[in-house]
């Protein structure tokens, strides 16, 4: 059975607190949604603002294959704004619960029904396709819901959508709830929110209950805890509804190009600046990442041991992470990928050094692993930068000032700078010295007193990046400024290795 997808990333998704997409960004997302086979795109709420209307107009002017809708309240003026934007359809939202009618709209059930019928007739008279979304349906009596759906279908509504606006269904309730509207002669959509983390499960149950369409957003963004994540629903429909492993076809199909889902997710999170949790199913950075030895070993032998689908199916990629839980097979595999051949005893030594770092709560990047391996294999790289002299002037009535003399491949460089404190001044002076040949960014800086007292040994750990290379470096000294500069120089040298 074919299930159609209405994407509301640009309407309900944009209602995520803090997300605002300009017309160009909306168009880029809409174009991608169209390209991957989304059937209907809710491009925004035309009533919202001039900018929103500009964005919707830009999208409707492209001749995309997908149906383009705008949200509309049950008000003629909202429909007029939708018409101005030249959309194909309206997502006409009619609040139906007693709570919404009494407190929000101050209307009776019959007044709301009459308004809904009038607005549907107006929209239809003006050539729009109407999807009638009953807001807060899951806190509305079924009898009234069926009455308002029947009346608006008689007035011309083309599709209906009972909405679980507050995400209060459970999968079993969703199955039984949505089933009650599948005999009304028009396609039914599910619209499930994620307040209890059940939006995807409830959407799947609604589909099992007989709906032929669902609303969702890329990455599950949306009001409060968000909406059903399209990528999760679509991949579940594709994968979890086969009678047995050998079945090529699932019980449900969609028009979505599944291998584009990771790219689409990335585009939406980048343009909306909405952080994506690494453990997000299907598209999160850890969805196909393995660190623990037992899993990595299994995946190297046969990826199906610990992956329910291949990353390639959704256009993602598999990653093996080196950290506290790594096993020797995973480590050996990564070292080989980095072009490093090690003997068994060397592998064990690297293994224990990685475990030691893991026990200290550190992650191990590729550059870290290369440095550990080079140390174990006795491959000493010539250090590009060496510290010759460091002078600090600091006190309660003076701007902290540092001068630094470094040796860069036998050239002497002297620089000075000021800073918020003496460490900042020293690093600023150092950065001035190296800026012509190293583009370094300080990502993190940690200081720890290894022993107690003011004469304690100080451990400084810095995380530095250059392009897409990231490393951690450390130094331990009695003097915090020297420790900071030594750790920084060590990190820069390692980032410059193999460049």
Question: Is residue 133 at the binding interface for ligand PYR, with CB under 6 A as the rule?
Answer: yes
Q: Show the CA angle centred on residue 229, arms to residues 207 and 180, nearest 5°.
A: 25
Q: Is 360 in the site for ligand ACO (CB under 6 A)?
A: no
Q: Can you name the residues that pair with 227 across neighbouring β-strands?
A: 193
DSSP per residue, 68-119: EEEEE-SSHHHHHHHHHTT-SEEEEEEE-SHHIIIIII---HHHHHHHHHHH
Among 39, 45, 202, 203, binds ligand ACO (CB under 6 A): 45
Residue whose C-alpha is closest to residue 93's, from 122, 68, 71, 78: 71
56 binds ligand ACO (CB under 6 A): no
Least distance between ligand ACO and beta carbon 180 (Å):
21
* One residue of 39, 152, 165, 219 binding ligand ACO per CB under 6 A: 165
Pairing of strands 213-216, 159-164: unpaired
One residue of 39, 40, 48, 296 binding ligand ACO per CB under 6 A: 48
Nearer to ligand ACO, 122 or 351 (CB): 122
Minimum Å gap between C-beta 439 and ligand PYR is 45
Lookup result for tokens 């007193």: 449
Which residue, 15 or 465, has its beta carbon nearer to ligand PYR?
Answer: 15
Backbone angles phi, psi at 174, to 5 degrees: -65, -45
Cβ(79)–Cβ(69) under 8 Å? no
Q: Which of 3, 6, 12, 236 binds ligand ACO (CB under 6 A)?
A: 12
Judged by beta carbon, residue 76 or residue 300, the one nearer ligand ACO is 76
Q: Does 12 bind ligand PYR (CB under 6 A)?
A: yes
Residue 163 binds ligand PYR, judged by CB under 6 A:
yes
Size, binding site for ligand PYR by CB under 6 A? 8
Residue 73 contact among ligand ACO, ligand PYR, none, beta carbon within 5 to 8 Å by kind: ligand ACO
R_g over Cα of the chain = 30
Beta carbons of 404 and 386 less than 8 angstroms apart: no
How would DSSP label each residue in 212-255? SEEEEBGGG--STT-B-BHHHHHHHHHHTT-SSTT-SS-S-B-S
Residue 174 within binding range of ligand PYR, rule CB under 6 A: no
- Cβ nearer to ligand ACO, comparing 73 with 384: 73
Considering only residues 50 to 109 of the shown chain, the ones binding ligand PYR according to CB under 6 A are: 93
Q: In terms of Cα–Cα distance, which of 67, 65, 61 is closest to 88?
A: 67
Q: Confirm or reject binding of residue 135 to ligand PYR (CB under 6 A).
A: yes
Binds ligand ACO by CB under 6 A, chosen from 25, 73, 280, 295: 73
Q: Residue 133 binds what, of ligand ACO, ligand PYR, none (CB under 5 to 8 Å, by partner type)?
A: ligand PYR
> Count H helices, E strands: the chain?
16, 16
Residues in 192-211 that interact with ligand PYR by CB under 6 A: 193
**Contact pick of 14, 131, 135, 291 for ligand ACO (by CB under 6 A):** 135
Based on CB atoms, which residue is closest to ligand ACO, 72 or 431?
Answer: 72
Please report the sign of the dihedral spanned by the C-alpha atoms of residue 280, residue 284, residue 288, residue 294.
Answer: negative
- Residues contacting 386, CB < 8 A, separation 6+: 406, 407, 489
Give contact residues for ligand PYR (rule: CB under 6 A): 12, 93, 133, 135, 163, 165, 191, 193
The site for ligand ACO (CB under 6 A) is made up of 12, 15, 45, 47-48, 71, 73-75, 93, 95, 104-105, 135, 165, 223
């Amino acid at each position: 059975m074919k299930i159609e997808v209405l994407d509301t990333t640009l309407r309900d998704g944009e209602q995520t607190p803090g997300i605002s997409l300009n017309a160009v960004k909306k168009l880029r997302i809409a174009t991608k949604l169209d390209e991957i086979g989304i059937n209907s795109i809710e491009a925004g709420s035309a009533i919202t603002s001039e900018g929103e209307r500009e964005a919707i107009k830009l999208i409707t002017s492209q001749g995309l294959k997908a149906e383009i809708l705008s949200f509309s309240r049950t008000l003629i003026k909202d429909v007029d704004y939708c018409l101005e934007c030249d959309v194909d359809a309206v997502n006409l939202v009619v609040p139906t619960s007693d709570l919404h009618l009494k407190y929000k709209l101050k209307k009776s059930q019959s007044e709301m029904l009459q308004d809904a019928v009038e607005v549907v007739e107006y929209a239809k008279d003006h050539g729009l396709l109407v999807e009638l979304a009953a807001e807060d349906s899951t806190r509305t009596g079924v009898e009234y819901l069926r009455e308002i759906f029947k009346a608006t279908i008689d007035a011309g509504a083309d599709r209906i959508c009972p909405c679980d606006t507050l995400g209060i269904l459970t999968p079993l309730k969703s199955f039984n709830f949505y089933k009650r509207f599948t005999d009304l002669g028009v396609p039914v959509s599910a619209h499930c929110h994620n307040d209890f983390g059940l939006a995807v499960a409830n959407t799947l149950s609604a589909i099992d209950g007989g709906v032929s369409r669902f609303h969702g957003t890329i990455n599950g963004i949306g009001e409060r805890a968000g909406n059903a994540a399209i990528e999760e629903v679509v991949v579940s429909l594709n994968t979890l509804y086969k009678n047995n492993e050998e079945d090529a076809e699932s019980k449900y199909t969609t028009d979505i190009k599944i291998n584009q889902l990771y790219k689409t997710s990335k585009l939406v999170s980048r343009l909306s600046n909405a952080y994506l949790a690494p453990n997000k199913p299907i598209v999160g950075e850890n969805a196909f990442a393995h660190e623990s030895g037992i899993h990595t070993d299994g995946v190297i032998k046969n990826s199906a041991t610990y992956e329910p689908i291949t990353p390639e199916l959704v256009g993602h990629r598999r990653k093996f992470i080196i950290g506290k839980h790594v096993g020797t097979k995973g480590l050996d595999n990564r070292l080989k990928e980095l072009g490093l051949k090690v003997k068994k005893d060397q592998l064990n030594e690297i293994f224990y050094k990685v475990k030691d770092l893991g026990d200290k709560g550190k992650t191990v990047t590729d550059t870290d692993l290369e440095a550990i391996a080079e140390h174990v294999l006795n491959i000493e790289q010539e250090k590009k930068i060496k510290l010759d002299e460091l002078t600090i002037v600091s006190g309660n009535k003076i701007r902290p000032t540092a001068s630094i003399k470094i040796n860069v491949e036998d050239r002497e460089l002297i620089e000075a700078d000021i800073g918020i404190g003496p460490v900042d001044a020293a690093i600023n002076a150092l950065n001035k010295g190296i800026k012509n040949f190293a583009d370094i960014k300080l990502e993190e800086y940690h200081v720890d007193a290894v022993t107690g007292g003011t004469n304690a040994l100080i451990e400084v750990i810095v995380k530095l990046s250059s392009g897409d290379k990231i490393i951690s470096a450390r130094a331990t000294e009695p003097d915090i400024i020297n420790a900071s500069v030594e750790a920084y120089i060590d990190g820069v040298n390692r980032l410059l290795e193999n460049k």
